[in-house]
Structure 1
Amino acid sequence: MARRIIGVLAAILVVGALVAGVELYLTRPDTPPPPEAALPPPAFLDQGWSAEMREAFYYTPQGSRLLPYAFLLALEQPDGDGLFLDDRHIAATGFLPAPAASPRNPDRLPVGFAKDPAPGGAAGPMVGLTCAACHTGEITLAGTRVWIDGGAAAGDFQMLMARLSKALDATLSDPAKFARFAARLKQDPKAVHAQLEATATEIRRIQAAAFTPVPYGRGRLDAFGHILNAIAAEALGVEANFRIPDAPVSYPFLWTTPGQRYVQWNGVAGNPIGRNLGEVLGVFGHANLAGGNVAAFSSAALLDNLKQLEDWVATLKPPPYPQNLLGPVDPVLAANGAELFKTHCAGCHGGPDYRYTAAAETEGGRRWLAVSMVPQEVVKTDPKMLVNFAGRMAETGPLAPAFGGAPRVPAGGILLLTANAMVENDLRARGITGDARKAYYGWRFAPGSEKPQAGWAAPPAYKTGPLAGIWATGPFLHNGSVPTVYDLLAPEEERPKTFYVGATRYDPKKLGFVSSEEDLSTAEQARAFRFDTTLPGNSNAGHPFPEPRLKPQDRYAIVEYLKILEGPR
């Protein structure tokens, strides 16, 4: 019932926004144009992973359950009879088709799509997303297609969901489509129709709940907005807690994150298992809040796999700048840039002499990268993400006793309570205690404490982490509003007001993707998303550093140094 209510509410919001004259898909075609040619196989940089490790990262399930696995394999595109998972169709939404079938991925699901091990319902096992879907980047370097493991993906989540919903609805409404769909499944058409209707209804609800007046575009998602809706509105069954998830952020790169004291753009995640469970809940990992009985909270998240994924990412290295493809680094310019970086940038970002937390702060003297948390009033970048999270209140409903009877609390408090309870209940049920339990939390414990260390609390601030490998991760700032590092070092008035996201050709001079209308072909523009920094949540203001602003030649020097900046050891 709660899901239907929330879906109706989201649909009402959609209609209201459209009536108000808001363009839902600015510059975005309803049918994404396909790539011009078949995709060549990708190349990889040396990031410390074997091919087997990479494959495991791409396709190990996390507990996300989007729709039946067999349905996704049999589904056609909404506007033709080609399969939904056709390489060119998937690539047009920004996600990465698998280069080849493999034992872990025999049906060539896109990168970051995985079959859930649970048996599933009448339609069989489910398929969902993993962190690889959002954290595997692609760059075209000197004509070579290169994948960046742990990098920022360019997938358009809203386009994917809109296309998926349209494809399911078209299959239901077109007898010929449905006949082909049922034939691929080799099942009774009557039973298939009922299961397909239920799936289409659920995806329709998800797509409506993901509506935003300003589209995310490529490489962005309001993860916290979706997670808080999944917990505080849907799982809790309180429709008044639903909010439009309209503060998208770029997907951060993953290398060095397992060693950081705080993670997430707002630093609120203090331990890896809580963060990773929240990520699963944001991408269709179902939660059960058991009528407010905290001791019975559970989720579909696969904690063993989440811990394993965290361990793998801990071995991931920043991508080395490929001088063989992009040309040699200027040693004189880079040396000048190193001095400028040390003077103007290292105070917040660290490196190469990275700062660590004090050994006395954590059990066993373990030390973590002491990332800086810069208050929004200092960094002055777009505040929407911080405001949405820190200012969002939620009705406690059946959870009121857990909050001392309070009828309303910060929504983040509900997320923290429920995520911690889900983790603890799962570990307790499986008899995981002592050091084994603490390992799941990444050993984020103060000496003598059994309670994991908390994340950043106040004031609202953005995290500034290490910049090794930053060359491969544009666009920049937390909301992806600045296309290149050079532009970020420039005064606000010199930064591009509009640019394209999703083109993969690289700009080694400025460090970022080729993104201007003048430099992209018509075909490249058609496949990309036009980012407008004047729209709400898209501001490219802030980060007024260095002060005073550097001359262009000094900006280029820092850019040159960032190509070879080493990560923490």
Structure 2
Amino acid sequence: MKHRKLIRTVAILAVVIGAGALFTWYQFFREEPQPQWITGDPEMRFKYGSIGGERDAGIPYWIFYVMPRMFPEKIPGPNGFASFGFAWEQGQELPIGFVKKTIGFERVGNNCAICHTASYRRSDDANPTFVTAGPGHAFNLEAMFRFLVDCAKDPRFNSDNLMHEIDLVTDLSWIDSAIYRFVLIPITRKRLLERESQFQWIYRHDFPEWGRGRDDAMNLTKYFLVGSPMDDSIGPTDMPSIWNLKKYDREGTTLNWAGDSHDEYSVIIDSALGLLGAAPKSNDEFLQEVQWLQDYLSAKAPPKYPFAIDEVRAASGKAVFDRECARCHASDLTGARMELRGVDTDPERLWTWKKAHAVAANNKVKEFDIDRPGLVEEDLIGYNPPFLDGIWLRAPYLHNGSVPTLRDLLKPPADRPALFWRGYDVYDPTNVGFVSAADTRAQEVGTQHDVADRSNGNGGHLFGTTLPEADKDLLVEYLKTL
């Protein structure tokens, strides 16, 4: 009798444990595939497809949804999430680069498209055209980082307040409501607060704002991937275009603004690890996604200039280009590291990264059992002369985005705009760049760039500045064709 009772007790206990394990798996860990409209279309996959960042760095969907409603004063504008300058397609629930995926519960993460989708408009009342793999020149990444941390630091970020806002917009089941109240909200707040120490340098008042369309990529790598102690360096640079990656498939070519990475495979891995915020759950799945991204971006053609081109003048402009520019931008030097001396653009980006940082970053990735050529284990000497494919859509210019248009770049530094506004997407086909001057809509929606601020200098790159105006006009016409 006692034996039967023991068996019955063990059986009941096993059922309870099994049910509990099943409940835990279902509510917190079950992974559902994204819908076919995302996974079955390469453009949609790049814009909205998961690379795995939601697992550890994702935010529960309903917390993400109500944060702008709860904390509008922490957003840099009156239009909710749109004030961060996201590329946002009409009819889509989330901006480009935001991933919604169910892993136990619905989570929101990011993928590469958040920083690498460009947009332009022909006029202020026109709809934007979005270009995947382009530079996200309107996105204010620094403001988004601050928003997430500042919300978590606010005493209003608690279960009572958040659940009140969530209940106003959706009807959660009692189980999901309890999970949000007692598990997800406290954990989300804890994880966001943990990021505060990693973001300390973006709160320094003696550092200039990155502004729309820029990030401080190597410091992000130092502090997030490597965990290096913070120093006094700052080097915000324009978010680059990543289309047509196959152009880097030749010996001697390095990537990133300062040639600090060996190849495109390594760059994609390191960027994706930054979005994951942790080691991949499965290296095989992660590297398959990296390979898909490399294949997609290698085949992605640069966008054609969407306005009229005077083909006769452009042909004459090619002769000017071949004479004045080709020795750096259409030769074997393109994509190969060049000493700063002689180019003389702002040096601060170089000072953010040393050989020791590269060694530490490569060792960290090795700890994840991921093999890649990695970061160049040398001190930086200068900036890569960039390829110019799709150069018309890559304004502002120079590595730190300190010159608003191509025509401005052909002026001596003293004549280039000393103050302009970044992040407005109405295109200026006359000067080849974006509208950015004071007393325009750009001043209302953009972020100010002052070349007198540290790391914002617009000096150097004197090439072409002494050309006759007629030759400059021909050269600009040719550059539209690239």
Say yes or no: TM over 0.5.
yes
2:345 aligns to what SS in structure 1? Answer: coil
Q: What does the per-residue CA deviation read over 1:244-286, in whole Å, with 9 as the maximum and x for residues that have no partner?
A: 6621110111123343131111112112332222112333521
- Measured in 1, the distance between the counterparts of 2:163 and 2:188 equals 10
1:137 aligns to what SS in structure 2? Answer: strand
- Identical positions, percent: 26
User: Which residue pairs with 1:163 in the alignment?
Assistant: 147
User: Which residue pairs with 2:461 in the alignment?
Assistant: 543
Q: What does the per-residue CA deviation read over 1:450-490, in whole Å, with 9 as the maximum and x for residues that have no partner?
A: xx497484661211122121001100100000000111111
User: Which residue pairs with 1:473 in the alignment?
Assistant: 394
- Kept in 2: contact 1:63–1:116 (CA 8 A): no
**Aligned counterpart for 2:96 among listed residues 85, 107, 111:** 111
**Aligned counterpart for 2:477 among listed residues 560, 563, 566:** 560
- Kept in 1: contact 2:260–2:380 (CA 8 A): no
**Aligned counterpart for 2:203 among listed residues 190, 197, 211:** 211
**Aligned counterpart for 1:180 among listed residues 135, 146, 165:** 165
2:81 is the counterpart of 1:90: yes
- Kept in 1: contact 2:215–2:236 (CA 8 A): yes
Specify whether residues 196 and 216 from structure 1 end up closer, same or farther in structure 2 by C-alpha distance, changes over 3 A only.
same
2:131 is the counterpart of 1:148: yes
Could you say which structure has the higher helix fraction?
Answer: 2
- Measured in 1, the distance between the counterparts of 2:232 and 2:113 equals 25
1:337 aligns to what SS in structure 2? Answer: helix
1:128 aligns to what SS in structure 2? Answer: strand
Shift of 1:538: 0.3
2:274 is the counterpart of 1:282: yes
User: Which residue pairs with 1:310 in the alignment?
Assistant: 294
**Aligned counterpart for 2:216 among listed residues 215, 222, 225:** 222
User: Which residue pairs with 1:38 in the alignment?
Assistant: none
Specify whether residues 229 and 69 from structure 1 end up closer, same or farther in structure 2 by C-alpha distance, changes over 3 A only.
same
Shift of 1:206: 4.8
How do residues 307-386 of structure 1 correspond to structure 2 at under 5 angstroms? 307-323=291-307, 328-350=308-330, 355=332, 371-386=335-350
**Aligned counterpart for 2:111 among listed residues 119, 122, 130:** 130
Specify whether residues 426 and 545 from structure 1 end up closer, same or farther in structure 2 by C-alpha distance, changes over 3 A only.
closer
Specify whether residues 544 and 299 from structure 1 end up closer, same or farther in structure 2 by C-alpha distance, changes over 3 A only.
farther
1:255 aligns to what SS in structure 2? Answer: coil
Specify whether residues 158 and 492 from structure 1 end up closer, same or farther in structure 2 by C-alpha distance, changes over 3 A only.
same
How do residues 438-457 of structure 1 correspond to structure 2 at under 5 angstroms? 452=373, 455=376, 457=378
User: Which residue pairs with 1:482 in the alignment?
Assistant: 403
In structure 1, list runs of 5 or more residues that go unmatched.
Answer: 1-49, 102-107, 234-238, 289-296, 356-368, 391-408, 428-440, 442-451
Q: What does the per-residue CA deviation read over 1:186-220, in whole Å, with 9 as the maximum and x for residues that have no partner?
A: 42133444334324423544544543421101000
Specify whether residues 68 and 299 from structure 1 end up closer, same or farther in structure 2 by C-alpha distance, changes over 3 A only.
farther
AA paired with 2:417?
P
Specify whether residues 555 and 77 from structure 1 end up closer, same or farther in structure 2 by C-alpha distance, changes over 3 A only.
same
Specify whether residues 196 and 287 from structure 1 end up closer, same or farther in structure 2 by C-alpha distance, changes over 3 A only.
closer
Q: What does the per-residue CA deviation read over 1:94-133, in whole Å, with 9 as the maximum and x for residues that have no partner?
A: 11224334xxxxxx2221122467x47xxx4643221111
Specify whether residues 309 and 269 from structure 1 end up closer, same or farther in structure 2 by C-alpha distance, changes over 3 A only.
same
Q: What does the per-residue CA deviation read over 1:376-429, in whole Å, with 9 as the maximum and x for residues that have no partner?
A: 112100111112213xxxxxxxxxxxxxxxxxx71121112322453xx257xx
- Kept in 1: contact 2:334–2:384 (CA 8 A): no
User: Which residue pairs with 1:59 in the alignment?
Assistant: 48
How do residues 507-546 of structure 1 correspond to structure 2 at under 5 angstroms? 507-518=428-439, 520-521=440-441, 524-546=442-464
Shift of 1:68: 2.5
How do residues 402-413 of structure 1 correspond to structure 2 at under 5 angstroms? 410-413=356-359
- Kept in 2: contact 1:229–1:243 (CA 8 A): no
AA paired with 1:490?
K
Q: What does the per-residue CA deviation read over 1:207-238, in whole Å, with 9 as the maximum and x for residues that have no partner?
A: 445434211010000111011112332xxxxx
- Measured in 1, the distance between the counterparts of 2:78 and 2:447 equals 19
AA paired with 1:53?
P
Specify whether residues 91 and 480 from structure 1 end up closer, same or farther in structure 2 by C-alpha distance, changes over 3 A only.
same
2:269 aligns to what SS in structure 1? Answer: helix
AA paired with 1:252?
P
- Kept in 1: contact 2:118–2:135 (CA 8 A): yes
- Kept in 1: contact 2:437–2:443 (CA 8 A): no
- Measured in 1, the distance between the counterparts of 2:215 and 2:349 equals 11
- Kept in 2: contact 1:114–1:128 (CA 8 A): yes
**Aligned counterpart for 1:389 among listed residues 325, 330, 353:** 353
Q: Which has the higher contact order (CA 8 A, sep 6+)?
A: 1
- Kept in 1: contact 2:353–2:380 (CA 8 A): no
Deviates more, 1:328-337 or 1:204-213: 204-213
- Kept in 2: contact 1:485–1:510 (CA 8 A): yes
Calculate the aligned-residue CA RMSD, in Å. 3.2
Deviates more, 1:271-280 or 1:200-209: 200-209
Shift of 1:509: 1.2
**TM-score, scaled to structure 2:** 0.79
- Measured in 2, the distance between the counterparts of 1:489 and 1:253 equals 22
Specify whether residues 125 and 109 from structure 1 end up closer, same or farther in structure 2 by C-alpha distance, changes over 3 A only.
same
- Detail structure 1 runs of 4+ shifted over 6 Å in the superposition: 297-301
Specify whether residues 230 and 287 from structure 1 end up closer, same or farther in structure 2 by C-alpha distance, changes over 3 A only.
farther
- Kept in 2: contact 1:148–1:472 (CA 8 A): no
1:564 aligns to what SS in structure 2? Answer: coil
Specify whether residues 95 and 206 from structure 1 end up closer, same or farther in structure 2 by C-alpha distance, changes over 3 A only.
farther
